[in-house]
Amino acid sequence: MTLPPSAATPLLELQGISKTFGSVQAVRDLSLSVEEGEFVTVVGPSGCGKSTLFNMVAGLDEPDPGGILRFKGRGCHAHELLGRVSFMPQRDLLLPWRNVVDNAILANEIEGANRAEARAKALRMLPEFGLTGFEKQYPHQLSGGMRQRVALMRTFLFERDLMLLDEPFGALDALTRTLMQRWLLDVWQRHRRTILFITHDVDEAIFLGDRVLVMSARPGHVKHARRVDLPRPRAAELVTSPEFTALKREILEAIEEESMKSFVASNGAVAA
């Protein structure tokens, strides 16, 4: 269920983690680990506890007692991770009263960085994020794709060893999404951060990831872990290659089964 053993200590390690909200168990006995510099994608049916997983790793929610959470080889409480991972939630959550640059440096400002220096750094990053000339614009003046790039820039500027991206492209149209995926890989290859990436799009998960984790229906756990051996840099044509298709079939099968379960669970019964 988990990963092949590796010599190096993983950056993040979860073992037997559960999380219960009232009478609902969102996550049960979840185990996973993420190596340094790895791009791991997580797919699963809706409501499978993906966001719960992220909230715990971001330090926002404490898991139920009993599991093991290790960051950089050291066991810790979830709240100790606050300020130590850079988290990007589904919605861009840009602050409407801040312009592009000031939104991008929000996290740096919170950790007490010099504002002028942070701004200068953000300005240098603008071209890479396709935001040249937009530094003085406010969120309501930007398109959805641009807002998302500002949010990503905010996440990148908060230089932490682990980045958590929760369906960052979920709200974008299909064309913009594929462009953003290639762009993200490009940026990632240059910055070499460790990324844990949630999506419900199997193509996206395979195209981006070194490894794809398939989560089960609720209560969620990692049902299937699959290494993606496709060469990098990955080009757009890759998605039509036989290797890609074979991987996709395998992962889709695993998800389908889980989607069915959660569908039945949420509908009480299913018509034959």
Partner 1 sequence: MNRGALRGALGVALLLILWEGLARGLALPSYTLPSVSEILLSAWTTRQALLTAAWFTLAEALAGYAIGCVVGIGIALLLSLLPPVRRGVMPVMMAINSVPVAAWSPLLLLWLGVGMASKIAAVALAVGFTVFLSALAGLDRVDRRAADLMRSFGAGPLSILWRLRLPTALPLIAAGMRVSTVRSLIVAIVTEMLGAYGGLGWIIYQAVVQIDFVAVWSAILVASALSLAFFGLVGVIERRVIFWRSS
Binding-residue pattern over the window 123 to 152 for partner 1, x denoting contact by CB under 8 A: ---------------xxx------------
80 part of the interface to partner 1, by CB under 8 A: no
Query: Are 156 and 187 spatial neighbours (Cβ–Cβ below 8 Å)?
Result: yes
Binding residue (CB under 8 A) for partner 1 from 1, 68, 110, 265: 110
By beta-carbon proximity to partner 1, the closer residue of 159 and 257 is 159
Give the whole-angstrom CA distance, residue 29 versus residue 41: 19
82 part of the interface to partner 1, by CB under 8 A: yes
Least separation in angstroms between CB 216 and partner 1: 25
Query: Are 73 and 48 spatial neighbours (Cβ–Cβ below 8 Å)?
Result: no
209 part of the interface to partner 1, by CB under 8 A: no
Give strand pairing partners of 222.
Answer: 215
Binding residue (CB under 8 A) for partner 1 from 7, 22, 23, 97: 97
Omega prior to 231 cis, within 30 of 0: no
Least separation in angstroms between CB 137 and partner 1: 12
95 part of the interface to partner 1, by CB under 8 A: yes
239 part of the interface to partner 1, by CB under 8 A: no
158 part of the interface to partner 1, by CB under 8 A: yes
b/e 27-53 (16+ beta carbons within 10 angstroms → b): bbbbbbbbbeebbbbbbbbeebbbbbb
Query: Are 202 and 239 spatial neighbours (Cβ–Cβ below 8 Å)?
Result: no
Candidates 269, 265, 262; CA nearest to 48 is 262
Tell me the backbone φ, ψ of residue 154, rounded to 5 degrees. Answer: -60, -40
159 part of the interface to partner 1, by CB under 8 A: no
Give the whole-angstrom CA distance, residue 219 versus residue 214: 13
113 part of the interface to partner 1, by CB under 8 A: no
Lookup: tokens for 83: 């300020």
Give the whole-angstrom CA distance, residue 39 versus residue 56: 19
Binding residue (CB under 8 A) for partner 1 from 65, 96, 233, 242: 96
Least separation in angstroms between CB 169 and partner 1: 18
Tell me the backbone φ, ψ of residue 196, rounded to 5 degrees. Answer: -115, 120
By beta-carbon proximity to partner 1, the closer residue of 154 and 221 is 154
Binding-residue pattern over the window 40 to 69 for partner 1, x denoting contact by CB under 8 A: ---------------x--xxx---------
Candidates 203, 204, 202; CA nearest to 214 is 202
How many residues line the site for partner 1 (CB under 8 A)? 25
Candidates 251, 169, 166; CA nearest to 202 is 251
By beta-carbon proximity to partner 1, the closer residue of 124 and 140 is 140
By beta-carbon proximity to partner 1, the closer residue of 22 and 96 is 96
Binding residue (CB under 8 A) for partner 1 from 32, 40, 43, 107: 107
3-state secondary structure of 86: strand
User: Which positions touch partner 1 (CB under 8 A)?
Assistant: 55, 58-60, 82-87, 89, 91, 93, 95-97, 106-107, 109-111, 138-140, 158
